[in-house]
Amino acid sequence: MATYVLLHGGAAGSWIWKFCVQGLRRDGHDVHAVTFTGFAERRHLISPNSTVETHVVDVLNTLEFEEISDCVLVAHSYSGSVAPGVIAAAASRIRKAVFLDAIVVHQGETVSESMGYMNADQARAVAAGVRSGAVPIYSQVAEQQRAEAKEKPFNMSPERQTWLLEHLSNMPTACAVNPVAVGAEAIKIPVEYIAVSDTIMKPMHARARKLGWNVHEVKGDHAILVGDPDATVRLIEKFT
């Protein structure tokens, strides 16, 4: 059996892995889902300094205090920016990484730049605004995702989508507009990239291929871990 550490995406928290955690534990695995500072049940800790590096420390502390070793690190969406820093600092504890339709960010780049939302100058200006108080410390990602779901529902039951959308919360602005210290190109351990068919992450799939990672194309949307947790569990187990 394996040990999994699950990292969540933007506007989410450890809760988004609920159904996958149930499936993985049912199969006998040891599972730890982390919520980043400023997200979900830790949203009261949001600050202008809630950056990717803050979230790297969140995961490193979990690895240390839960005494986790020989684990598989699974990153969904935004947490693809967090995983490289974790792996660089705790390589001896992690044997493999799985990127589930996750962001692939390079050193010195911001999440917003990698996704094409801003250029470097714009990101720096927003980051300065957050530090000065001129820009809100939280983004409107949750509201954006709710609006998008009305136009194009996720591939799941209406009841499951309602559950998903009700749990979303806005994320720290700083984590999207500050350059990452460790990029995906620094990862030395094996990486399996699960690329879903219906997603805005297509450019990330190309980046993963360029890095020489094993890219596996599967049918589904960006919320596959909620809409089809059984398939997600099978994929995670297959590639680890």
Confidence of residue 96 (pLDDT cuts 50, 70, 90): very high
Distance CA 89, CA 84 (A): 9
Average pLDDT for 172-201? 98
Is 145's pLDDT higher than 90? yes
Is 82's pLDDT higher than 90? yes
pLDDT at 240: 84
pLDDT at 47: 95
pLDDT at 106: 98
Catalogue the E-assigned strands of the chain. 3-7, 30-34, 71-76, 94-100, 191-198, 214-221
Q: What is the mean pLDDT of the chain?
A: 97
pLDDT at 18: 98
Per residue in 216-235, pLDDT (tens digit) is 999 999 999 999 999 999 99
Computed on alpha carbons and rounded to an integer, the radius of gyration of the chain in Å comes to 17
Is 78's pLDDT higher than 90? yes
Per residue in 12-34, pLDDT (tens digit) is 999 999 999 999 999 999 999 99
Query: Any idea what the CATH number is for the domain that residue 171 is in?
Result: 3.40.50.1820
Is 129's pLDDT higher than 90? yes
Is-contact 57 32, C-beta < 8 A?
Answer: no
The tally of domains found in the chain comes to: 1
What residues make up the domain containing 140? Answer: 3-238
Distance CA 84, CA 187 (A): 6
